[in-house]
Amino acid sequence: MFKYLPKRILVTAIISVLSGCATFQLTDLFQGYNSQMKPVKAAQRQGDFLKAQNLLGEREQSNNTYVLSLLERGRLQFLAANWPASQKTFAQAYVQVENQRNKAKIQISKGFENLGAVVSNDNATSYEVPYYEQGMLHSYQALNYLFQHDLSGALVEIRRANLVQENALKAYKDELYKAQNELHNSGMSTDSLQGGYPSMVSAIGKVKNGFQNAFTFYLSGILYEASGELNDAYIDYKRAIEIYPENNYLQQDVLRLATKLAMQDDLASFQQRFGKYQARDSKGQGQVVVLVERDIINSKQDVGLNLPVGRSNYGLKFFSFSLPVYEGALTQHSKISFKSTEQSYQSNEIVRIQSLAAKDLKDQLPSLLTRQVVRVVAKEQVRQKLSREAGDVGNILASIYNIASEKADTRSWSTLPDQVDIVRMDLPAGKQVLQVQVNGQQKHIEVDVQPNRITLINYSAIGSYTSYQVINL
């Protein structure tokens, strides 16, 4: 049965293409996800989040991109300040992620799904949510709970976000080694990409891996502080500063809590790195923390390559490959200024999500190449079979299909911010107005600062669009 299945899949796909049959499934196979998301992201840049949601369309649970569509919708609902709807959507996405994780644990075969991918492309497989996207899922879900005045629910989500990073760290080296070994066994290596595949060094920047997210740890520290769990807050601020040691707000946070908790050894080490902590009189004041979302993450692009397959002693043959890539250097965002009546503060980067995405993709290249080797060889075998059985017509149809279906998997959570900054300031209790300088324009934020409490502001700056939400923790 197996040897006949690829031919039937191929013939069915060819008939569907020629007849103009279009479903989300076929659209995913023959049109890149990045192209599908262009109008959605255009509406997002205009701040028209309802239009962006409508442009997403509806996907059935059986669709391979169902979980990704939930992530996109949940993010757009969050931006529209529809927190109950966003919470529900992200909860559905979490169920899908857990199902994926459980299948991986018991190693359920994706046989029939992968058979479709063998004669089409990776878009025929279910989208597997990478670790960095899982962390952002739980971070936004925590904010959904916060803006509905549920701190305990937010803490549950932030613990899940931290667990994602712990699990990723444990699995990272094993997964990378396994992928590289499988690629070697297929007769290729990532060295084959040199000279043809665009470098992602500029997009990756300084990140060490594609999952450690200082923003998640920082948000965790804020929530623990708000709930009076200072030891836990301190632990997560320390985790964050190991990822972003140059962030001056993080530096002050670890110095402040190391002093308050009498962590003398830590304090001596931190003061050697960041200077002596200068305690300020906080009587009658509250803390204001601003999370600043900058623009939108870039989408993956499709790059075509001709690469040799096989080993030199058995002979090499060149095949056409399509691989995803993040092209270009990182966008340089100017700092956003927040000014109170007493002092001016500038935003400071806490995570570059674009860099996490690019590093995750680079680490996935061995697995992507391995699947591509299997795919192009299988397609060639089917083409030869059809050529023998159906002559020139079969050969032409198979060749057309192979060209049309050779699409890179450009799926990724495309409505995420490119970057997140933070600002932390002490302000007098009472109603305050912050002047915000962003993209050459001046905006205002009204806050009601509570003494000895944290006021959290989520500020979005997407293109020329800006908005904010405020919650007293």
The 10s digit of each residue's pLDDT in 31-87 is 689 999 999 999 999 999 999 999 998 888 888 899 999 999 999 999 999 999 999
Report the CATH number that the domain containing residue 245 is assigned in CATH. 1.25.40.10
What would the two tokens of residue 314 be? Answer: 């058995």
The total of structural domains in the chain comes to: 1
Check residue 306 and give its pLDDT.
Answer: 74
CA–CA gap between residue 80 and residue 86 (Å, rounded): 9
| Residue 84 Ramachandran class (φ > 0 left, ψ -120 to 50 alpha, else beta) | alpha
Phi, psi of 245 (to 5 degrees): -65, -20
Could you tell me which residue, 257 or 122, shows the higher pLDDT? 257
> Using alpha carbons only, how large is the chain's radius of gyration in Å?
25
Q: How far apart are CA 463 and CA 285, in angstroms?
A: 34
Given a contact cutoff of 8 angstroms between Cβ atoms, the answer to whether 468 and 460 are in contact is: yes
pLDDT at 112: 38
Average pLDDT, the chain: 83
Residue pLDDT, tens place only, 87-103: 999 999 999 999 888 87
> Which one has a higher pLDDT value, 102 or 147?
147
Determine the average pLDDT of the residues in 321-348. Answer: 90
Residue 32 makes CB contacts below 8 A (sequence gap 6+) with: 302, 407, 408, 410
What is the domain range of residue 363? 5-472
The answer to which of 191-205, 289-303, 342-356, 431-445 has the lowest mean pLDDT is: 191-205
Residue 387: pLDDT band by 50, 70, 90 thresholds?
low
* C-beta of residue 348 within 8 angstroms of C-beta of residue 147: no
Kindly tell me if the per-residue pLDDT of 191 is higher than 80: no
- pLDDT at position 198, please? 87
Query: Region 456-461: what's the mean pLDDT?
Result: 96
